Amino acid sequence: MERHPDSEVLFVGALGKMEMQKIPEAGYRIVGLPVAGLQRSLSLSNLKFPFKLLKSLSKAFGIVKEFKPQVVVGVGGYASGPVLYAAQSKKIPTLVQEQNSYAGLTNKILAKRAQKICVAYPDMGQFFPEEKIVYSGNPVRKDILNLAGKREKAMAHFGLKSDLKTVLVLGGSLGARTLNLGMLEDMKAFDQDGYQVLWQSGKFYFKDMLAATEKAQLKNIHLREFIREMDLAYAAADLIISRAGALSVSELSLVGKPVIFIPSPNVAEDHQTKNAMAFVINNAAVMLKDREAVGQLKKKTDEVLGNPEMVKSLGENIKKLAKPFAAETIVNEMEQLIA
């Protein structure tokens, strides 16, 4: 839209998922499909899967026929399959954007008939045809591209002290159970040992975390349900503790601060662990396994922030893996497909 303001963009999402709320809030139109994923355990909901898929395919063909797109981009969500299948059947150019270091099943299937595959990690030829791959990175919000000079503003905004080390804990907008339990376990130790923690608990856990922190009466534990001003949060942080979802990892590589990744084990193909390991093997981040994290947050924080050389090398190495112009690269490929 920045490059072609007269363009018309239509999003297609999965009914009941977060995108159905977030996309309209960003000012764009979205259409929902009833598609859902297969459960990996025995579940009655799996019996509904074929019917939801057929209904979604029928609706996707209708959307493509009515909207008449010149190019269709899939990012691997539930809705990508039916929409890209419909577009490919109508000989409309398609581009697949794989956000993770381990390709999802939907993208692996769709990539066979896609014209281009934009990836966020090197060495993705094990999943996709090499001649179609473009190493683009993942698009990230523009306000984090330049954090220089924002630290003082960040401290004031969050009510933080400039003489204390700041730990930023992020579990996503809904929250991460392990990160929250880990903080409950160690928050007194963080507070007593001179750290301040900016802690995003997420929507699901906020009330319980708030009750616990208020009872503990800790001066330097700053709890938030959700942080909107992420550029300021990153600017304030000396160290970041985070899940390893694709977009989180991409953002943190641009931030250039030391990171402790705690990958979620509850994701397809354990892709968050694979995302994190792509950084760990380059000495660009530290990883804690989910099952080992509770009781280890403070100890691991001490290990990193107590070693100035480690802080420096982690920050420098993670920045080397950043792809700040991912959105522009993907748009370049879309333009070529439309031309």
Could you list the residues known to form a binding site, using ranges: 100, 141, 173, 227, 246-251, 272
Q: Specify binding-site residues for UDP-N-acetyl-alpha-D-glucosamine.
A: 100, 141, 173, 227, 246-251, 272
CA distances from 55 to 20, 33, 62 (A): 18, 8, 11
Per the listing, tokens 């791959």 go with 133
User: CA 43: distance to chain centroid?
Assistant: 28
Residue 120 and residue 250 in contact, taking contact as beta carbons nearer than 8 Å: yes
Which tokens in the block code for residue 6? Answer: 């007269």
Q: What angle do CA 4, 5, 8 make, to 5 degrees?
A: 90
Which tokens in the block code for residue 320? Answer: 């080397």
Which tokens in the block code for residue 170? Answer: 């992020």
How far apart are the C-alpha atoms of 20 and 300, rounded to whole Å?
38
Residue 97 and residue 74 in contact, taking contact as beta carbons nearer than 8 Å: yes
Q: Which string of DSSP letters, residue by residue, matches 105-139?
A: HHHHHHTTT-SEEEESSS--TTTS-GGGEEE----
How far apart are the C-alpha atoms of 50 and 240, rounded to whole Å?
42
How many residues make up the chain in this entry? 339
Residue 200 and residue 227 in contact, taking contact as beta carbons nearer than 8 Å: yes
How far apart are the C-alpha atoms of 211 and 205, rounded to whole Å?
10
Which residues, listed in sequence order, are joined to residue 10 by a DSSP beta bridge? Answer: 29
Which residues, listed in sequence order, are joined to residue 287 by a DSSP beta bridge? Answer: 261
> Comparing C-alpha atoms, which of 308, 261, 307, 315 is closest to residue 286?
261
